[in-house]
Amino acid sequence: MLNIFYKENGKIIFSQSEKYLGKIKIEDTVWIDLVDPTGDEKRAVEAFLGTEIQSRAQAEEIESSSRYFETDDAIFANTNFLTPGPEEYMMQAVSFTIVDDTLTTLREVPLRSFTDLQRRLQINPKQYPSGFSVFASILDQRVDLDADMIELLAKEISQYAKRITEQEDINEDLLLDISQLQENTMIVRENVVDKQRLISNLMRSTKIPQALESRLTVLLQDLSSLINHTNFCFERLEYLQDTVVGLINLEQNKIMKIFAVVSLLLMPPTLVASFYGMNVALPMTGTRWDWVIIIGIMLLSLVVFFIVFKKRKLL
């Protein structure tokens, strides 16, 4: 799908046909958004811009030189946008190309940041005079969404902390849930750091308008605070994980302690029963009350050891 936003008589006109690329000028074009485009759509945009648009494979590369680079005429930048799932987050690669003042974006899936901005772009075109301003707005809105996701993570961590404090369902499943939260937190942090690196590179560029420098500086400060928050969330999850492991170990130790104490308590009666089970002449035998005497001795030894264990606080 192809979305073209260009200026005409002070308004932003929207089109979805590559045929309009031959009718408009590049200086009048604010934003070209490619969503899972066909080969013809991508080639038409490349011919219009006079430069090649990066492929999805190039956009997903992790080398710094591939994430951001410039030529004499264009800026190429790649970053990842998070999409929340039922249990884990998914990263979606987005490629940005800026030629003169025209922004071109390439993505494979619909993203809320782009949909909301396209609506505002047509309602209030004066706020988006160039592709650079659109680019900054996309990053700004994406940082806000990342902050919302981190807040949701923090709330979820607090719920798990409450469950642990109340010792509710302390088991292996809870430990696995905390591990999944750790994975989600690492993904969010990686995503935030990627945007921080992108904006830092943008601020060093001579092609960025000076009017956007203060805006990008604020974004960098916001991203730094988000990184600190994700670090705190991860440290808290590690603490919760250690707590759960400790509680599980304590519960297992209690069970082992019960087995050990029961075994020790039964040792004296077992010794008496084994002694009188021998086929030899023994004291206090030869009467019909032998079994009563033996059971009495066994119960007496059990009570004595029980009292000793109780006084030593082993029970």
Residue-wise pLDDT tens digits, 289-306: 676 777 787 788 778 877
Burial of 29 (0-12, 13-18, 19+ CB in 10 A): buried
pLDDT of 88 > 80? The answer is no
Residue 144 has pLDDT above 70, yes or no: yes
pLDDT value of position 7: 79
How does pLDDT run across 13-72, given as a tens digit for each residue? Answer: 777 777 767 777 877 788 888 888 888 888 888 888 888 887 766 666 666 556 788 888
pLDDT in tens, 246-273: 777 877 787 887 777 777 777 777 777 7
The pLDDT of residue 276:
67
Going along the chain from its start, the domains and CATH numbers come out as 2-248 (3.30.460.20), 259-311 (no CATH)
Predicted TM-score (pTM) of the model is: 0.72
Across the chain, what does the average pLDDT equal? 80
Question: pLDDT by residue (tens digit) across 102-133?
Answer: 888 888 888 888 888 888 888 887 888 888 88
SS (H, E, C) the chain: CEEEEEEECCEEEEECCHHHHHCCCHHHEEEEEEECCCHHHHHHHHHHHCCCCCCHHHHCCCCHHHHEEECCCEEEEEEEEEEECCCCEEEEEEEEEEECCEEEEEECCCCHHHHHHHHHHHHCHHHCCCHHHHHHHHHHHHHHHHHHHHHHHHHHHHHHHHHHHCCCCCCHHHHHHHHHHHHHHHHHHHHHHHHHHHHHHHHCCCCCCHHHHHHHHHHHHHHHHHHHHHHHHHHHHHHHHHHHHHHHHHHHHHHHHHHHHHHHHHHHHHHHHHHHCCCCCCCCCCCCCHHHHHHHHHHHHHHHHHHHHHHCCCC
The confidence band for 74, taking pLDDT boundaries of 50, 70 and 90, is: confident
Asked whether the predicted pLDDT for residue 281 surpasses 70, the reply is no
Range 221-234 average pLDDT: 90
pLDDT classification of 162: cutoffs 50, 70, 90: confident
pLDDT at 250: 77
